[in-house]
Amino acid sequence: MTALGAQGARKHIEFHGRRARSRTIPMTLAPRSRTLVCLTGFMGSGKSTAGRLLARQLAYLHVDLDKRITDAAGLSIPEIFDRAGEPEFRRMEQEQLARVLAEAAEHPKPRILSLGAGTIVHGQNLALLRESGALLIWLDCPMEELLQRCAQATDRPLFRDEASFRRLYEERRHWYEQADYRVDSNTEPVRVIEQILALGIFPRVPA
């Protein structure tokens, strides 16, 4: 797991066995909020499933950004890409993200937001999330497992072949590394939830 400290510059700590590496990351514009927790990560990392299960266990709202986009468009994500192209999809993504953040500010019931795989990479999305005080958790998963999970999927328009898949992951990885916490999602969903709860950022959940 990876966590950041709370004073001055934040510490990004990655545990490897009994050893830990840390690097300093500047404080962002707003304090982190447990009432808006966002899951980020590459396609196939389990953001939608983990978000739904985590929200259920905490009695939080769950918002899936991709679903908000498809509901607004009346089209699936592949259909949006086919008919309008990726730039239009990204415009819709930023528009829906802004609406979700506005809703969270107006109605502060705690919620879990499952982001799209490319959400924090494009436009001003990461800045919007930081300004809102959202807390980001990266669901990290090995490349070989991601490939296996996505190989048979038909709803991922950016999955074209293995080479481009690997290249896209490397292009996005440093964005995911800007999250506040990292958990290993190369396991069963229930174990992912256990890791997130063990971060200590939520009120204790009764057994």
Residue 19 lies in a domain: no
Residue 185 covered by a domain: yes
Structure tokens at 141: 């998963």
Q: What's the pLDDT tens digit per position in 2-44?
A: 454 333 333 333 333 333 333 323 333 344 557 899 999 999 9
Q: pLDDT digit string (tens) for 150-200?
A: 876 655 655 567 888 899 999 999 999 999 999 999 999 999 999 999 999
Nearest Cα to 88, choosing from 75, 99, 100, 101? Answer: 75
Closest by CA position to 38, among listed 15, 56, 54: 54
Per the CB < 8 A criterion, the answer to whether 193 and 187 are in contact is no
pTM for this predicted structure: 0.81
Domain that holds residue 141: 33-198
List, in sequence order, the alpha helices (H) in the chain: 47-58, 65-73, 77-84, 86-106, 125-132, 143-150, 162-176, 189-198
Closest CA to 51 of 41, 64, 42: 64
Specify the residue for token string 């050893």.
19
CB atoms within 10 A of CB 154: 8
| Within-domain flag for 20 | no
CATH number at residue 38: 3.40.50.300
Q: Say whether pLDDT at 68 is over 80.
A: yes
Q: Are 134 and 180 in contact (CB under 8 A)?
A: no
Residue 205 is predicted with a pLDDT of: 58
What pLDDT shows up at residue 160? 64
Assigned domain for 23 exists: no
Cβ pair 122, 86 in contact under 8 A: no
- 13 within a domain of the structure (yes/no): no
- Angstrom distance (rounded) from CA 156 to CA 113: 19
**Tens digits of per-residue pLDDT, 77-107?**
999 999 999 999 999 999 999 999 999 999 8
In a domain, 78, yes or no: yes
> Per the structure, how many domains does the chain have?
1
| Residue 57 located in a structural domain | yes
Residue 203 lies in a domain: no
Task: Report residue 51: phi and psi, to 5°.
Answer: -60, -45
